[in-house]
Amino acid sequence: MDIDVRLATAQERNALEEFYTRVGLNFHEFASQASCTPMVSKQETMFIVAVTKKLVVAALKLDIGTDSELGKIGFIQHFEIEHELEKTDLGLRMLNKLFEIADEKSLIALDTLVNELRQDVIGFYNELGFK
């Protein structure tokens, strides 16, 4: 299966909404709200997506803001992958794209915001060295 991992475009808003609905989340609810982050000012929000045949099969939300003491920080939220693709390298590919963007945007740090009930996601981040 050929899967393209990249930044989402405005034309993919409906595909993002459909994806998050399939995984049980309300895209409109979290896409429009400010992230619950300890940053001073939120500068931008973007979504990284994995797409095959115009279908979003994985996505994550990245909020970028500035902390007055640290500088630019990225906050990762709502990282979801279609169930049948969870055991593939897609999660790593998504994070590699995230790290590429973090470098391009000169982020000093990345942090995650994950519901503590999502031990699967927390375990994934822990395996990658997030603390």
> For the chain, what are the domain ranges?
4-127
Q: Residue 61: its pLDDT value, please?
A: 94
Q: Residue 95: its pLDDT value, please?
A: 93
Residues 70-108 have pLDDT tens digits of: 899 999 989 999 999 988 999 999 999 999 999 999 999
Q: Residue 19: its pLDDT value, please?
A: 96
Greatest alpha-carbon span in the chain: 44
Q: Residue 70: its pLDDT value, please?
A: 85
Q: At the fourth CATH level, which superfamily is domain 4-127?
A: Gcn5-related N-acetyltransferase (GNAT) (3.40.630.30)
The pair of structure tokens assigned to 52 is 């095959």
* Angle subtended at Cα 122 by Cα 118 and Cα 127, rounded to the nearest 5 degrees: 150
For residue 38, give the DSSP letter. Answer: -
pLDDT < 50 positions in the chain: none
- Residue 9: partners with Cβ closer than 8 Å, 6 or more residues away: none
What does the mean pLDDT of the chain come to?
A: 87
Rounded to whole angstroms, the Cα distance separating 38 from 41 reads 9
pTM, full prediction: 0.86
Q: Residue 124: its pLDDT value, please?
A: 78
Contact 61, 76 (CB under 8 A): yes
